[in-house]
Chains A and B, each alone.
Chain A
């Protein structure tokens, strides 16, 4: 008995020593955990941002932790929440927005948190098409838009010149794109046009760009009972158009995600639609002159071009934290929104600036004249958004993307018509939406 007591005392003492050692820095500053999914240069930037913030004041210490890919980070966050151990801030990819927004009681809406913490927050300062994507039904920002990008059009200027096309006049419409692809092919180009992120670019962004619905209920912003609308005549026309281009050898399917990028910088494909955040990668790898332009559209559709929608991720704040911790998170978000911080982030990473002030600052610094084309993404976004162009807020969006991409692949492989493929995509997608509605009631 006596020995046991001694042992327990020893353990307690040791634990005390460890606790003091571990919480040493935290005595001076409130610790804020930030779980993210950024790798490589982006990881360095996020670490840099937090270090700069930590140095700028002494009350809070933001600790960035890399948690793997986007799905891995989200799963880690969910598991931690279930274990009662959630981080303060979690970076979640845009397709997880509906999942997070419906996690009532698990998250703390950002705008409300900023107000409670007494941090100034002006919603109007944010780029509408960026902030709107993460707005709750009451219009308030639910999460902090951190890294956002949008699809743009890249083209190989050297290949254009070789094909007798004007390198300074990229195609603006899908008809012009088809003509350009034909001329490129005639000049010996193996592939005219290819695309990355088929679902995001050819269906989600396509809908917003032409101001048509992707789903009912304002693309899901109006409620969980939204259903897909991507088998509309315009969608069918576009997918059919791409299938025809594929048959003529003018459009080459390059795979899901951003797999098709390598076809562009290897010179195989002369035109590409890809995220604006792919800029750095293309610039590093392309051995030719390339240009950036806005996404092609169908000019006979009224309201087109409207605006493109974003991809990327936002920062979510978990519920059930203490007031000082929320104060720290709010201060960190204020810091991230500063025009000079945002402008630097935008210029170094290719992600969109979150505030219009950051865009203005970047423009005044002459960055866009030195790096022509990098403002295309912002230009596509800085317009008044509509209910159809705000974004897509659907549950199980990752699966819906998988489903639509499966069906698109079967269309472009010539196995089914565009109409049949999109009808099936709608049917399968609606089944998923029905399930999500039930699970999140």
Chain B
């Protein structure tokens, strides 16, 4: 019987189709107008070669794409983006988890610590970049001058590795607060009784973390992983624009930054649209992969 299949679950059935669609409409309209419509436009534009004013355009098929993939600099940007995103996601998650575990154990002035740790999230990415840029400015930055004292010649304007490090540090610093919040909430929802029982059974702190806390945190970690990868792919744009502008020698020009450079600054709409489509495909594949493979191992 049909009813037994849904036994135990409440099921609300609308009579007619108007009301449910009406209720869904606001969300659907937003999704279509702000997501599907621009995405379709990007797809269409990526097949065109056009002047900035849209006076004349030519259908060129996949030529914008073949041009991109025959440029060594674009391929280098792929490797760079992979390295950058993994660095930002991994460092951001690890540091946030350590801080959350520590903050969760603090007894005195816990709120003060938590508040301070959350603060950087309120800083706009461009401001965060300027802040770190000041600290590391080869001419006047105090950290750069301190590094010079200990024999490190800090010049991220010419040294690509240092520039990379600078944008990673800034992006991670900005994102750690967000991750911290979720980890802390996750930690606080772990039943104390479980941990106490384990402690009575003789499990040390590391073992308790490895066998109880970490597995129970896995839904949070998984969620944050997805969010952080997307953050590293898209939201770090402002950081890179303010800190390095993709330099030196293109060594911090991640994919999303190149979209901006070519589309917004250079007005090469065809190439820029093709790059957005590539980026869109990558993020789709990554998210699907994360849900298919990692999601299976997550214990909810």
Residues of A within 8 A of B (CB): 71, 74-75, 78, 81-82, 96, 99, 102-106, 253-257, 259, 262-263, 266, 268, 396, 398-399, 402, 405-407, 409-410, 412-413, 415, 428, 431-432, 435-436, 438-441
Contacts and interface: CB of A to CB of B under 8 A. Distances in A.
Nearest to A261: B139
Given A78-B267, A410-B248, 17 more contacts: A75-B267, A103-B52, A105-B55, A254-B157, A255-B157, A255-B247, A266-B139, A406-B247, A406-B248, A409-B158, A409-B248, A409-B249, A428-B71, A431-B67, A431-B71, A438-B58, A441-B56
B249 A413 contact: yes
Contact of A399 (B155, B158, B245, B261): B261
B157 A410 contact: no
B73 A106 contact: no
B249 A78 contact: no
Interface string B69-80: 001010000000
Main secondary structure of the interface of A (DSSP, over half): helix
A406 B139 contact: no
23 contacts: A78-B52, A99-B51, A99-B52, A253-B157, A256-B245, A259-B157, A262-B139, A396-B267, A396-B268, A399-B262, A402-B246, A402-B261, A406-B73, A407-B249, A412-B158, A415-B249, A428-B71, A428-B73, A431-B67, A438-B58, A439-B57, A439-B58, A440-B56
Given A75-B264, A438-B49, A262 B140 contact: yes
Contact of A82 (B54, B245, B250): B54
B53 interface: yes
B159 A413 contact: yes
Contact of A103 (B51, B155, B264): B51
A279 B67 CA distance: 43
B160 interface: yes
B266 interface: yes
A82 B58 contact: no
Interface residues of B, number: 36
A398 B265 contact: yes
Contacts of A407: 249
A439 to B, nearest CB: 5
B80 to A, nearest CB: 13
Interface string B154-189: 010111100000000000000000000000000000
Most A-side CB within 10 Å, residue of B55, B56, B247, B267: B267
A131 to B, nearest CB: 24
Nearest to A400: B266
A399 B249 CA distance: 13
Contacts of B73: 406, 428
Nearest to B60: A438
A435 B248 CA distance: 25
A103 B56 CA distance: 9
B92 interface: no
